[in-house]
Amino acid sequence: MRCPFCQYTDNRVLESRSAEAGQSVRRRRECLRCERRFTTYERIEFVPITVIKRDGDRESFDRFKLLRGIVRACEKTGVSSVQLENLVDEIETELQQRAVREVHSYEIGELVLQSLRHLSEVAYIRFASVYRKFQGINDFVNTLHHLRSDGTPDQAELGLTLIDSDQLNGTTNEAILSPSQSPSSRH
């Protein structure tokens, strides 16, 4: 960081403190040449993330839209709203830390599924049913089978078509099961 007065590049930090409600660090510095003082702020880089939908369209990542889709899948599953907020926070943070500013909608869907499988089996199956556009009961059975064995179901193996993120927000919800119809309750 160059001194704003003499352009010299070396300085020493006199003081560091949290600023802007923890969103940044304020540092008071002193130039090693002219000894004048100046202040710098360090912040986490926040660059908009672009989501590439299945049809190739691009849109800005919208955490509220993502949250709405997950909330719908988790209705009456005992997963708390705090857990869902944390889930979305983790996904957004992971995306923010990537070097690439573009992400495919199916990658976001898989991140959601990875998290949901630890929270609720029913929520996992419901979200997968919408997101992977289940066509019939076999898709549910296969997904449940994979969920209980190990690993995330392989989309090619399931022979399923991914849907774009518009459908993550619940505009297409025919495939969402009510809790009483969930596959797990049929055993």
DSSP H helix total and E strand total for the chain: 6, 6
CB closer to Zn ion, 6 vs 13: 6
Residues in the interface with Zn ion (CB under 5 A) total 7
Give the range of 18-26, 27-35, 69-77, 143-151 binding Zn ion by CB under 5 A: 27-35
Query: Rounded to the nearest 10 degrees, how much is the dihedral formed by the CA atoms of 107, 177, 180, 149?
Result: -40
The reply to whether 12 sits near Zn ion by the rule CB under 5 A is no
The single residue among 14, 34, 137, 141 that binds Zn ion, judged by CB under 5 A, is 34
Nearer to Zn ion, 4 or 179 (CB): 4
CA distance 105 to 163: 8
Task: Give ∠ CA 122-125-127 in degrees, rounded to 5.
Answer: 105
If binding is defined by CB under 5 A, does position 79 make contact with Zn ion?
no
CA 137 to chain centre: 28
Stretch that binds Zn ion, among 28-36, 54-62, 101-109, 126-134 (CB under 5 A): 28-36
Of residues 165, 172, 168, 166, the one with CA closest to residue 103: 165
Minimal distance, residue 10 CB to Zn ion, in Å: 9
Using the minimum distance from each CB to Zn ion, give the nearer residue, 3 or 88.
3
**Stretch touching Zn ion by CB under 5 A, among 30-38, 48-56, 129-137, 161-169:** 30-38
Q: Is 115 left (phi over 0), alpha (psi -120 to 50) or beta?
A: alpha
Q: Applying CB under 5 A, which of residues 1, 2, 5, 154 lies at the interface with Zn ion?
A: 5
In degrees and rounded to multiples of 5, residue 156 shows phi and psi of -70, -40
Would you count residue 130 as binding Zn ion (CB under 5 A)?
no
Sites of contact with Zn ion (CB under 5 A): 3, 5-6, 8, 31, 33-34
